[in-house]
Structure 1
Amino acid sequence: MSKQTAIRLPDETYERLKALSERTGRTSAYYLREAIEKHIEDMEDLYLAEEATRQRIANKERTYTLEEVMRDLDLEN
């Protein structure tokens, strides 16, 4: 199942998308879908990392350096 949505694009972006579609014979919807699918996971990961950092700072949780972790797990050399 799929859903439909609408977006506003700056004129320049719209023209680039339109030109790409015309050159390749693919629809604008195809390229919009591809761009979203390609980048949404990165954006989700970034949000989760930022949220985890905010929570860590708010809770004053201790962080560990790589050297500390390596030493504590006896992974040095």
Structure 2
Amino acid sequence: MLAVRLPPDIEARLDALAKATGRSKSHYVREALLEYLDDLEDIYLAEQRWSDIRAGRTRTVPLEEVMHRHGVEG
């Protein structure tokens, strides 16, 4: 269980959307949070990979090699 206080303008927008679509406000908050968490996790992973590349802990693979491995012609 999580309680979140929203500014009145956001609460009003969320309420209007829920009423217009017949879905709950919780549905939209859950969907927004999941999408945002996906984005944050992607950003974190990309930053970690970039740090590993810069530090020499991992190497990159040229696009041509990836395409060849997977039978894609450029």
Report TM bin, short chain.
Answer: 0.5 to 0.7
Taking only aligned residues, the RMSD between alpha carbons, in angstroms, comes to 2.9
Which residue in 2 is equivalent to 1:43? 40
Match of 2:11 in 1: 14
TM-score normalized with structure 1 length: 0.58
Q: Kindly, what percent of the aligned residue pairs are identical?
A: 40
- The one-letter code sitting in structure 1 at the alignment partner of 2:34 is E
- Deviation, 1:55, is 3.1
Unpaired stretches in structure 2, ≥5 consecutive residues: none
Could you tell me the TM-score, scaled by structure 2's length? 0.59
1 CA distance for matches of 2:10 and 2:23?
A: 16
1:32 partnered with 2:29: yes
Structure 1 residues without counterparts, runs of 5 or longer: none
